[in-house]
Amino acid sequence: MTAGFHAAAMSSGRALARAYPWWPAWALAAAAWAGIALAAADGALPPALRDICRAGAVGAAPAPAGVAGVAGVTGVAGVASLAGWLWMSAAMMLPLQNRGAEHVAFSQPAARRHAAIALFYAGSLLPWLVPGLLVEALRPLVDAGQQPLNVAAGFIAAALWVLAPARARARAACHRTVPLRLTGWRMDAFRYGALMGWACVRTCWPAMVALGLTTYGAVPMALVTAALLWERYRLPHTSRRLAVALAALAAAELLRAWI
């Protein structure tokens, strides 16, 4: 009886994992979020890991000296800064790629499914290096003393971007599929991931850059992530409610600073 129940549970678990092939990316994003939460709880992480988190604008405090600026990107601290940015991107962006992961998963036999999905997700993170470098270039120009205004301005810009036709085209591109070959599947999966990642960059870059520039903390990141997930999986493509949500975040930040 127990063995039968165990077998049925294992069978159902395998079938569910098969039906929802994007689950490893959600697990990875959850782990990234756990790291972010630990970083936000200052001191809970080893110093090196905490610095990486802060460099990616996920900590509560400003980035450590030497991280900011394009020149820093060439050094160890710069690499750590970009790693932190990719960490943030993984936490926030991987859960938005379910459609592409499903396409990759079911275009290939099960024996290579996990490898293909891993290559797809790796490819999808690659384009985020572009706004990451942009953040590093802009960081010295941002006055850390005007944090609430910076945050609010970033969210307002992100809200306006939601209303732009170019953003609507980018959002549509997030649902793109392409033929994936059985021979040459590794390169196809990675390239398709990069294509989808670039669509994601075009869609979400203002909000992400705003978060990256402000070294603002885990709570706004979580709110922006929730808003993006809400838009991707719950709102029709014609909806502009995300703009309202981002404007509300900007107003909340200004209100918090004023109080």
Partner 1 sequence: MPPDAQGNPGRYDMSVDERDTALDALTQADFSVSQEHGKQGFGGREAAFTHHISSHGELEYIPHALVHSGISGAMGAPGTAGLDPVFWLHHANIDRLWQVWLNANPLHINPTALTWLTYPFTFHDSSRTPVTLTPAQVLDTRTLLSGYTYEGVAPIGDTSPAVAPAVGINTGLFKTTLSGAFAHFAKAATDIAPEIAAATNDPLLLEGNEASTGLEFLPPTRRSPPLVATAQFAALAAAAPFPGLAEGAAHAYLNFENITGTGVPPVHEVYVGRKGTAGRYAGALPFFGIAESSVPDTRHSGSGQSYVLDISGIAHALEEEPGWDPAQLEVTVRPRRAPRPGSNVRIGRISLYVK
Contact set with partner 1 (CB under 8 A)? 7, 10-12, 14-16, 18-20, 98-99, 102-103, 106-112, 165, 168-169, 172-184, 230, 232-238
Q: Judged by CB, which is closer to partner 1: 17, or 255?
A: 17
> Do the beta carbons of residue 103 and residue 179 sit within 8 Å?
no
Shortest distance in whole angstroms from residue 130 CB to partner 1: 20
Q: Is 9 exposed, middle or buried (0-12, 13-18, 19+ CB in 10 A)?
A: exposed
Q: Judged by CB, which is closer to partner 1: 170, or 211?
A: 170
Q: Give the relative orientation of helices 76-93 and 113-125 as an angle to the nearest 10 degrees.
A: 120
Q: How far apart are CA 97 and CA 123, in angstroms?
A: 11
Contacts of 98 (CB under 8 A, 6+ apart): 22, 233
- For residue 179, is it left (φ>0), alpha (ψ between -120 and 50) or beta? beta
140 alpha carbon, distance to own chain's centre: 23
Q: Judged by CB, which is closer to partner 1: 6, or 256?
A: 6
Shortest distance in whole angstroms from residue 222 CB to partner 1: 17
What is the DSSP code string of 215-243? T--HHHHHHHHHHHHHHHHHS-TT--HHH
Q: Judged by CB, which is closer to partner 1: 4, or 145?
A: 4
Sign of the CA dihedral 207, 166, 133, 89? positive
Q: Judged by CB, which is closer to partner 1: 147, or 177?
A: 177
Q: Judged by CB, which is closer to partner 1: 26, or 230?
A: 230
Shortest distance in whole angstroms from residue 212 CB to partner 1: 27
Shortest distance in whole angstroms from residue 112 CB to partner 1: 8
Shortest distance in whole angstroms from residue 35 CB to partner 1: 27
Shortest distance in whole angstroms from residue 184 CB to partner 1: 7
